[in-house]
Chain A
Amino acid sequence: MTGEVLAAGFAFAGAAVGAALTYAATRRDILARVTESRQDLSQREGQGRREEWGRRFTAALDDVASEDFRRRELGRVVLVALSTSSLATPEDRDLADAVLSAGARIDAEGDRTIIVPAGISVDDVVVVEDDGDDEEGSSR
C-alpha cells in the first residue's frame, strides 16, 4: 500500500516537473519568436526608411540640375537636409558635398571660377552676384 502511494506520488511529481519544464520551454520559444519578429519588423522598417530616403535624395539631385531656379534652390535645401540625416552614409554626404562644391565653383558657362588668382591679395578682390539680365536669378 505504501509503495503504491509512493509510486503515485512520484508519478504525480514527475508529471508536474515535466509540465513545468514543457511550459518553460514553450514560453522561452514564444518569447524568442516575438523578439525575432520585432527585430525583423524593425529591420524592414529601417530598410523602408532608407529606401524612401534614397528616393528623396535622387529627386533632390534631379532638382539641383533643374532649369528652374526655384526647384534648384529647393533641391539644395533638401539635399543638405537629407545629407545631415542619420540615414545618410559617409558616401552620400561626400556625393552631396561634391555636387554643392561644383555648383559653387562652376559658372553658368561651365567654367571654373577663380576667385583669388595667384599673386593677388584677397583684399583686392570683390565678389559680386551677377546674373546679367536673368530676371529669374535676380529675384529673391
Chain B
Amino acid sequence: MSKRIVRVTRDQVQSAKALIELRGGEDKVDPDIVLIANAKRLSPAEIAALETA
C-alpha cells in the first residue's frame, strides 16, 4: 500500500520546532506538530518513489 505523502514547508517545520521548544518538549504538543517538526528532507526522486511504493 502506498504511503500518504504530506508536504509541509520549511517554515512549518521551523514553527513546529519553535513551538516544541516553547512548550518544553515533544510530549507537550499535539502529535501532528511532532510529525511536522520531524518532517523528512527528501529529494524529489525519493518522494516520487515513496508515492509509487
A and B, one complex?
yes
Decide: B22 and A107 in contact? CB cutoff 8 A: no
Among A76, A93, A116, A117, contact of B18 (Cβ-Cβ < 8 Å): A76
CA distance A104 to B11 in the complex (A): 7
Task: Determine the main DSSP class of B at the interface with A.
Answer: helix
Decide: A104 and B4 in contact? CB cutoff 8 A: no
The interface size bin for chain B is 20 to 34
Decide: A126 and B22 in contact? CB cutoff 8 A: no
Over the window 23-40 of chain B, the binary record of Cβ atoms lying under 8 Å from chain A Cβ atoms (1 yes, 0 no) is: 100000001110111111
Decide: A113 and B12 in contact? CB cutoff 8 A: yes
The stretch that binds B, out of A12-20, A41-49, A95-103, is: A95-103
User: A residues touching B (Cβ–Cβ < 8 Å)?
Assistant: 69, 72-73, 76-77, 79-80, 83-84, 93, 96-97, 100-108, 113-117, 120, 122, 124-131, 137-138
**Apart from A76-B18, A80-B18, what 5 extra A-B contacts exist at CB < 8 Å?**
A97-B23, A104-B19, A105-B33, A128-B40, A130-B9
User: B residues touching A (Cβ–Cβ < 8 Å)?
Assistant: 1, 3-16, 18-19, 21-23, 31-33, 35-42, 47, 50
